[in-house]
């Protein structure tokens, strides 16, 4: 590669890094506790006590759980019911109308065998604050898209950093850290080494983060494309005045897709359903398939299955990106690995910022020690 091409790649690396570094530092720092969000929630909230089940007592139905939630929040209607993966608990969301805002919604967890309330989830805790800062900086969709653009710049910085690193490595063995040189040289070598070691992980986390920031536009695209086709025969029909059994609706959906389990139910009128349907969202029952969702539309008046189809490729990419971004696929060992790599990324970003700031105070050309800085440079923020 010519020296002119290397210089262009160097400038690309320098400026993409400079623009995104502070935001990437924020994402890495907030992402660290989010990797262990389940463990931290358990530590902060303690063990969720479940009501005792008397021997021989008949198990309650989903309708009973729904009645408990509606009794707790009078004057509201059901919006969503989600199913806990680890405990016999359903989480019910209610609101004053089908298109209620988040601020208007009420949330409660119900023990399925007894239909007794367990706990109203806390959406105002420290982990909720960290999650909001990490996903959109409390700016909504605009914040999500902005952070997505920062993630894209981060990926460009990674690619350009590899290109710039290649000629640099011709002068040093891989893994060399020049501890006998000045502080800037040591940090440069450390920065380059960690950058190459974490290359694949940083690329995966950066790109999945970009995909996750597109969640709202992708869901809106699915609703305008796929969902509108699925409910077209029912267009204009009002919300039924009498509803068929919720338990039967879930059973019908599961029977149509053997080997799946319910993830959540969207009630008639909400954005993931239609005015005339229960939308029963099913997921695979194995670790490899549980992120793959299939919506089944059940006529809320008759209880009949009217439509079921797999999610399009872009929604599948979105679903697979979400747990991969936080290392949720392999249990605690993978989370620990993700955390160590995240710490390495923080060191990379911090050292890149230091290298850029330190270079601004270098001796003028021709002065003592100035020659020590004439080696090829590869610092992301230089």
Which residue's entry shows tokens 């090829």? 376
Distance CA 23, CA 292 (A): 31
Q: State the pLDDT at residue 124.
A: 59
pLDDT tens, the chain, 382 aa long: 677 787 888 889 889 998 999 999 999 999 999 999 888 877 876 666 777 777 767 788 999 999 999 999 999 999 999 998 878 899 999 999 988 888 899 999 999 999 998 876 555 578 888 999 999 999 999 999 999 999 999 999 999 888 887 776 666 666 666 766 677 778 887 888 888 889 999 999 999 999 999 999 999 999 998 999 998 888 878 888 888 999 999 999 999 999 899 999 999 989 888 899 999 999 987 766 778 889 999 999 999 999 998 889 999 999 889 888 888 776 788 899 999 999 999 999 998 888 888 776 544 433 444 333 333 443 444 4
Q: State the pLDDT at residue 262.
A: 94
Residues with Cβ within 8 Å of residue 76, at least 6 apart in sequence:
70, 94, 95, 96, 106
* Chain-centre distance for alpha carbon 274: 26
Which residue's entry shows tokens 């029977």? 255
Which residue's entry shows tokens 């986390």? 205
Domain boundaries, the chain: 3-40+135-212+329-373
3-state secondary structure (DSSP) of residue 382: coil
Any idea what the Cα angle at residue 318 is, between residues 256 and 92, rounded to 5°?
60
Residue 255 corresponds to which tokens in the numbers above? Answer: 């029977």
Q: State the pLDDT at residue 46.
A: 63
Which residue's entry shows tokens 């969720």? 48
Distance CA 9, CA 16 (A): 11
Q: State the pLDDT at residue 293.
A: 87
For 161-212, the DSSP string reads HHHHHHHHHTSS-TT---TTS-HHHHHHHHHHHHHHHTHHHHHHHHHHHHHH
Q: State the pLDDT at residue 379.
A: 40
Overall pTM > 0.85: no
Helix axes 331-359, 199-213, angle to 10 degrees: 100
Residues with Cβ within 8 Å of residue 193, at least 6 apart in sequence:
175, 176, 177
**Residue spans of beta strands (DSSP E) within the chain:** 77-83, 89-95, 106-111, 116-119, 260-266, 277-284, 293-299, 305-308
């Amino acid at each position: 590669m010519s020296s002119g091409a290397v210089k262009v790649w160097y400038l690309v690396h320098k400026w993409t890094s400079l623009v995104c570094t502070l935001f990437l530092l924020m994402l890495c720092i907030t992402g660290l506790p989010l990797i262990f969000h389940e463990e931290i929630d358990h530590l902060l909230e303690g063990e969720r006590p479940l009501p005792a089940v008397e021997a021989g007592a008949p198990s309650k139905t989903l309708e009973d759980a729904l009645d408990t939630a509606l009794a707790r929040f009078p004057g509201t209607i059901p919006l969503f019911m989600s199913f806990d993966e680890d405990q016999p608990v359903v989480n019910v969301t209610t609101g004053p109308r089908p298109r209620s805002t988040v601020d208007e919604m009420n949330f409660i967890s119900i023990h399925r065998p007894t239909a007794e309330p367990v706990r109203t989830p806390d959406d105002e805790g420290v982990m909720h604050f960290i999650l909001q800062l990490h996903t959109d900086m409390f700016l909504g969709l605009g914040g999500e898209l902005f952070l997505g653009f920062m993630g894209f710049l981060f990926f460009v910085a990674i690619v350009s950093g590899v290109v710039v690193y290649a000629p640099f490595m011709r002068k040093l063995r891989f893994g060399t850290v020049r501890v006998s040189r000045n502080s800037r040289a040591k940090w440069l070598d450390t920065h380059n080494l960690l950058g190459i070691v974490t290359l694949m992980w940083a690329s995966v986390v950066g790109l999945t983060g970009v995909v996750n920031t597109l969640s709202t536009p992708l869901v809106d695209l699915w609703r305008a494309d796929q969902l509108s086709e699925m409910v077209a025969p029912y267009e204009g029909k009002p919300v039924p005045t009498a509803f068929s059994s919720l338990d039967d609706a879930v059973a019908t959906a599961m029977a149509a897709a053997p080997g799946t389990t319910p993830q959540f139910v969207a009630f008639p009128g909400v954005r993931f359903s239609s005015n005339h349907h229960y939308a029963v969202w099913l997921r695979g029952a194995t670790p490899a398939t549980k992120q793959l969702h299939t919506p089944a539309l059940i006529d809320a008046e008759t209880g009949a299955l009217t439509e079921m189809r797999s999610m399009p490729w872009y929604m599948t990419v979105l679903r697979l990106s979400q747990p991969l971004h936080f290392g949720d696929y392999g249990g605690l060992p993978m989370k620990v690995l993700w955390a160590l790599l995240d710490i390495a990324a923080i060191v990379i970003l911090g050292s890149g910022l230091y290298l850029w700031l330190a270079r601004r105070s270098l001796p003028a050309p021709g002065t003592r020690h100035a020659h020590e800085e004439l080696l090829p440079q590869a610092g992301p923020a230089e």
